[in-house]
Structure 1
Amino acid sequence: MHEKEVAVVTKHGRMPTFAVRPDGNGPYPVVILYMDAPGIREELRDMARRIAARGYYCVLPDMYYRLGVVRFDLPRRDERMSAVVGACLRSLDNDFVNEDTAGLLAFLDGEAEAKSDKVSCVGFCMSGRYVVSLMAYFGERFASAASLYGVGLVTEDDGSPHKLMSQVRGELYFGIAETDTATPPQTVAAVRSALEASGIKHEIEIHPDSHHGYCFAAGRAYQPQAAEATWAKMFMLWERTLR
């Protein structure tokens, strides 16, 4: 595979981005991988490589670039580190992520190896919210998205994902942990109701015996059955909407 670190120009500066694709000329369909709250680390790069190995051009942006270079030594995580993670998470909003994604799309449009007329994306944890707002904002440019154990899916603000479903044109997959304080049953019900009212193609899958963070092998919540089931659903989603 071919991989590189690039500085993507955005409205707010230069956003470090990991880009990986198969060897060869392509063009390859594009999947944008949006990080979870603990930020950029090798496990996320390995996920991008896994996506690229299936024939996609995958980009992983550092969404905390406005704060400088932010890296967490997660095995040493304690309450004080969690407080900093939370502060970083709260530094983002829909507008920032939409604007950064505009820069990413402009970069991809200039890559001969990327087929970027229609793209897809996946967002973990904090980014599970943003992939919905992106689809609403960019319309048909996003053919699909996967939101995995998303945080903030139902809030009172106008940018809440459940209020944006009617503006989405692509297909949505929601991978939900069975036990997750960030996504309790009432949140899942509200998301399901909004999706059904929107009429868009969608799936909500609640994975048995799983907790928030179940996709990350390096984390305490890793649940391999749920993680692999989610990967299978995402690859089917991308095959269906990008090929």
Structure 2
Amino acid sequence: MIEEHTKIQTEEGHMETFITFPEEGGPFPTIFFFMDAPGKREELHDMARRIAATGYYVMLPNLYYRTTEHFELDFETFSNSDEMFELMSSIGNRMIVRDALTMIELAESDPNADSQNIGCIGYCMSGPFALSVAAAYPEAVKAAASIYGVRLVVDSSDSPHLGFNQTNGEIYIACAEFDDYVPPEMVTQVSEELNNSSANGRVELYEGVHHGFAFPGRGEYNKEAAERHWERVHALFDRNLK
């Protein structure tokens, strides 16, 4: 596997990005892996590697780059959780859509990447980012996955559900049964919005598990659900990008 850390120049700064892809067989379909709130860290690097190993060019950017070169939540003490919430509130869907354009441009310039076949994935905070990017660049983004993504249906002009009709790629939305950030009524609402749109996709409720079930380093980790989500994600990308 090839791995590198690079800084992507955007209009608003340098976005430090982890990139990984197989040594042989390229160019590879491109995956935008958007980090969750605790920041870009080795746990996510490992998840990016898992995707890349099956034949993808994966980009994992630090979405907090406008404020800090690096942030990582201290999971032992949570002493910097206030900083995390401040950083979360400093970014939004429109910002990430702008960032994604520079990521597309980098993929276009790299012979190892297939920039015509792009998939997006986001967890928690970044679930809506993945869906928003898919709607913003419908010709390039062929698949998008939101894993226990928050704020998918909100009273805002940039609410992700408003982009369903503009999305050409297949959408997969995974929700946990027990989720303080995504109440049951929001799961129902996003499912109805998706079903009533022209988009191709589905919402799947993971019964008996909690928000965060896919991260192996968390107390909420559920191996069975995590592996099911990997099965769904790999199938989604393989079906649409290869």
Match of 1:210 in 2: 209
User: What SS does the corresponding residue of 2:144 show, helix, strand or coil?
Assistant: strand
User: Could you report, residue by residue, the CA deviation over 1:135-188 in whole angstroms, capped at 9, with x for unpaired residues?
Assistant: 111122110100010111121111111222122111100111110011111101
Match of 2:69 in 1: 69
How far apart are the structure 2 equivalents of 1:162 and 1:113?
33
Match of 1:144 in 2: 143
Match of 1:49 in 2: 49
Contact 2:33 2:60 in 1 (8 A): yes
User: What SS does the corresponding residue of 1:66 show, helix, strand or coil?
Assistant: coil
Please report how far the alpha carbon of residue 28 of structure 1 lies from its aligned counterpart in structure 2 after TM superposition: 0.8
How far apart are the structure 2 equivalents of 1:170 and 1:77?
40
User: What SS does the corresponding residue of 1:37 show, helix, strand or coil?
Assistant: coil
User: What SS does the corresponding residue of 2:59 show, helix, strand or coil?
Assistant: strand
User: Where do residues 58-207 of structure 1 align in structure 2 (5 Å cutoff)?
Assistant: 58-78=58-78, 81-207=80-206
Contact 2:213 2:225 in 1 (8 A): yes
Please report how far the alpha carbon of residue 85 of structure 1 lies from its aligned counterpart in structure 2 after TM superposition: 1.2
How far apart are the structure 2 equivalents of 1:48 and 1:224?
18
For 1:11, the aligned partner's letter is E
Which stretch shifts more, 204-213 or 228-237? 204-213
For 2:33, the aligned partner's letter is L
After TM superposition, the runs of 4+ consecutive aligned structure 1 residues lying more than 6 A away are none
For 1:209, the aligned partner's letter is G
Structure 1: state its 5+ residue gaps.
Answer: none
How far apart are the structure 2 equivalents of 1:230 and 1:152?
20
How far apart are the structure 1 equivalents of 2:163 and 2:136?
9
Please report how far the alpha carbon of residue 87 of structure 1 lies from its aligned counterpart in structure 2 after TM superposition: 1.0
Please report how far the alpha carbon of residue 75 of structure 1 lies from its aligned counterpart in structure 2 after TM superposition: 2.6
Please report how far the alpha carbon of residue 192 of structure 1 lies from its aligned counterpart in structure 2 after TM superposition: 0.9
- Residue 225 in structure 1 maps to residue 228 in structure 2: no
For 2:22, the aligned partner's letter is P
With normalisation by structure 2, the TM-score equals 0.96
Q: Determine which structure has the larger helix proportion and give its number.
A: 1
Please report how far the alpha carbon of residue 73 of structure 1 lies from its aligned counterpart in structure 2 after TM superposition: 4.5
Contact 2:35 2:63 in 1 (8 A): yes
Aligned pairs, number: 242
- Residue 34 in structure 1 maps to residue 38 in structure 2: no
Structure 2: state its 5+ residue gaps.
Answer: none
Contact 2:169 2:200 in 1 (8 A): yes
Contact 1:162 1:190 in 2 (8 A): no
How far apart are the structure 1 equivalents of 2:147 and 2:20?
21
Which stretch shifts more, 172-181 or 133-142? 133-142
